């Protein structure tokens, strides 16, 4: 599977297993294994740069295993072939998203007006709290 010009995923890095899916499908649900569990050995992949692996791990979240594999479980449709296509597409999109380097945030100063408004709000709150004290007779 080709992700970018530099990144190509080999067949040995991806394994699929099929299980019976939940949801609609009538009797077909009990007989046919349509759900796809796609497993991509991302940590062992020689084609992924380390920076892409780190971003992929962050994007994957709970789908990342302790062994360094990315597991996608798809049971959206009643068709096994369509679920396989969806799983491969999701893997492709996830890796493609991980190849994009995030933009560095440039910190900016607050505007003069926003500082004034914040300090004015603090003064008002201080007065309100001061008035909550004990009433002297």
* First-last CA distance in the chain: 83
Q: What does CATH list as the number for 1-132?
A: 3.30.160.20
Domain residue extents for the chain = 1-132
CA–CA distance, 23 with 3 (Å, rounded to integer): 32
3 within 8 A of 9, measured Cβ to Cβ: yes
Position 45 confidence tier, pLDDT thresholds 50, 70, 90:
confident
* pLDDT at 25 exceeding the cut of 80: no
pLDDT in tens, 79-128: 889 999 999 999 999 999 999 988 999 999 999 999 999 999 999 999 99
Transcribe 1-50 into DSSP letters: -B-SSS-B--GGGEEEEEEPPPSS-TTHHHH---EEEEEE--TT-SSS-H
Mean pLDDT, the chain, rounded, equals 88
User: Which is higher by pLDDT, 33 or 10?
Assistant: 33
CA–CA distance, 125 with 90 (Å, rounded to integer): 50
């Amino acid at each position: 599977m080709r992700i970018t010009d530099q990144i190509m995923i080999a067949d040995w890095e991806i394994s699929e297993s099929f299980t019976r899916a939940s949801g609609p499908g009538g009797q077909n649900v009990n007989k046919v294994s349509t759900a796809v569990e796609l497993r991509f050995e991302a940590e062992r992949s020689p084609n992924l740069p380390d920076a892409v692996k780190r971003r992929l791990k962050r994007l994957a979240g709970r789908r990342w295993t302790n062994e360094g594999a990315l597991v996608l479980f798809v049971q959206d449709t009643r068709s096994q072939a369509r679920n396989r296509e969806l799983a491969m597409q999701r893997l492709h999109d996830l890796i493609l998203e991980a190849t994009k380097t995030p933009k560095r945030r440039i910190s900016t100063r607050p505007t003069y007006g926003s500082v004034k408004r914040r300090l004015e709000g603090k003064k008002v709150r201080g007065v309100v709290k001061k008035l909550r004290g004990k009433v002297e007779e």
